Amino acid sequence: MIHGQGFDLEFWAKAVNTMIYIKNRWPTKAFDSKTLQETCTCRKLDVYHLRIFGYKMYVHIPDGKKSRLESIPRVFLRYCDRTKAYCLMCVETKRIIKS
């Protein structure tokens, strides 16, 4: 994942975190090709929120906070813990934000 996106090895922990997040939501033979959540709740797991590691994204900025930096692309690094947010990195400044 890291080499495929051209990242340095400093992002290996975020890549592993993303891989584990996806693996925990992957169907397994132990549950008759279902996910754990599907087995417990009898509902299909929504996967619309899944993103590719290193995927280029643009963050919505509210009108009151817009500046000249609003069009800087960010890349997806991992899923945030206990929220539905993503951890994104600004391409130019290497600053990580939650969105």
pLDDT tens, residue order, the chain (99 aa): 777 778 778 888 888 988 888 888 888 888 888 888 788 888 888 888 888 888 888 877 666 666 655 666 888 888 888 888 898 988 778 888 888
Query: Would you list the DSSP string of 16-76?
Result: HHHHHHHHTTS-BGGGTSB-HHHHHHSSPPP-TT---TT-EE-----GGG--GGGG--EEE
Q: What is the pLDDT of residue 26?
A: 85
Q: What is the pLDDT of residue 71?
A: 61
Q: What is the pLDDT of residue 15?
A: 87
